[in-house]
Amino acid sequence: MTIALSITDVHVTLGHNHVLKGVSLDVRPGEFVTLLGASGSGKTTLLNVIAGLQAVDSGHLTFDGVSMERTPPQKRNVGVVFQSYALFPHMSVGENVAFPLRAARRPARERKSVAEEMLALVQLPGMAGRSPASLSGGQRQRVALARALAANPGILLLDEPMAALDKQLREQMQVEVTRIQRKVGITTVSVTHDQTEALTMSDRVAIMRDGILVQVDSPEDLYRHPVDEYVAGFLGEANLLPTAGGRILDDAAGAEVDGTAVVRPEDLELVPSGEACPAWHVEGAIHLLSFQGTRFRLELLTDGGRKVVCSLPPSIDASTLVVGERARVACRNPERVHVIAATPATAAMVAA
C-alpha cells in the first residue's frame, strides 16, 4: 500500500510539557484525516510537525516515502489553511491566490491563469480583482483555500479552518471543502474541535488525547466500535453500562463486572409493560422526558443510580411515560451493543 504521509513514533517536548508522546500515523494518497481532540491534546503541534514548523525530539516523518527530517517548511510542498485566513490585505484576491507562485518566481501569465483556475474551483470566478476586505468570511476562507492549492501541493493541512465561521456557513463550507478536496484528490490532514465537522468530512478520524492517538478509524467505526470509554463519550452521546454474562446489568456489583456496554441513545427502544424483555435491556425510574422536535429524549435512573439516555421516535405514546414511574428500554439488535472488555481500571471505574 502506498503511503502519502507517514509519521512514526514522534515525540515533542515544549518547555516542560511532553506534548507528543510517540505519535504514529499513516495517511494514504488522497485521504482526508482529521485530528480531533480536546484543547491542549497536541493537535496543532502535530500539524506543525508535518508542516515543518515544529522540530521533533525523536521519530520519523516521510512524504511519499521520502524523509522530511532535513527539509525546511518552504521545501515540503505543503499547503496550509489557518483559522484566521491570513490573506494579505494590500493585495487583490487574485494576487493572494497567486502568491505561492510568485514566491516560486513563476511567470505572470501562469500566475494569472492558475489564480483564475483556483478561484473557479472554489466557486469565486471573476473575483480576482476584488480586495479581501470586500469579501464575506466564507469567501475569504475560500480564497485562503485557493491560495493553499495554487502551488499544487502534495499535502493540504487545515488548522480549524471553519472555526471563525457561524454555524450555517460552517456547514456549507464543510460540504464545499469536502467537494474540492475530493475533486483535487489531495491528501489532507485537518484539525478540529468540532465532532460533526470531523465525522462529516473525514475518511478517517484520529482521536487525540494528551499527546497520544487513542484511535484512528472511519467515522462509523469510531462511533460503533470505540476502543475505550473516552472515545465512546467523546463522539456523540453514549450510555456506558456494566455488563456480565452477555447482559446489561442494572446494578453491578464489582465482582460481576466483565465489561462496559456502549449503547447509543437512538438504539434503545421502549418495551411495553407485559412484554418480555430482550437480553440487552435496562429498567429504571423515569427521570426526565422532553420533546426535542424530531425525537423524545427519555432519561431513566436505574436502581444503581446510573443515568440511561434514550432517543425515542415521535410516534411513541408519551402519555404512558410519567416521571417517577418505571420503564424498561431495550436494544433489540445485539450488533448495536458494543462491549469494551474490562481492564482492572475500567472495571473499577464502572463499578464505582
For ligand ATP, the binding residues (CB under 6 A) are 14-15, 17, 19, 37, 39-45, 193
Nearest Cα to Cα of residue 124 among 80, 94, 95: 94
Ramachandran class of 118: left when φ > 0, alpha when ψ lies in -120 to 50, beta otherwise: alpha
Instruction: For the chain, give the number of residues.
Output: 352
Residue 41 vs 187, nearer CB to ligand ATP: 41
Residue 17 vs 172, nearer CB to ligand ATP: 17
Residue 53 vs 339, nearer CB to ligand ATP: 53
- To the nearest whole angstrom, how small is the minimum distance from the Cβ of residue 305 to ligand ATP? 34
- To the nearest whole angstrom, how small is the minimum distance from the Cβ of residue 193 to ligand ATP? 6
- To the nearest whole angstrom, how small is the minimum distance from the Cβ of residue 191 to ligand ATP? 6
Residue type present at position 320:
T
- To the nearest whole angstrom, how small is the minimum distance from the Cβ of residue 45 to ligand ATP? 3
Residue 17 vs 58, nearer CB to ligand ATP: 17
Residue 42 vs 100, nearer CB to ligand ATP: 42
CA distances from 49 to 35, 54, 56, 58 (A): 13, 5, 7, 11
Ramachandran class of 30: left when φ > 0, alpha when ψ lies in -120 to 50, beta otherwise: left
- To the nearest whole angstrom, how small is the minimum distance from the Cβ of residue 198 to ligand ATP? 13
Answer yes or no: are the C-beta atoms of 140 and 85 closer than 8 Å: yes
CA distances from 53 to 8, 20, 148, 293, 344 (A): 17, 15, 16, 47, 40
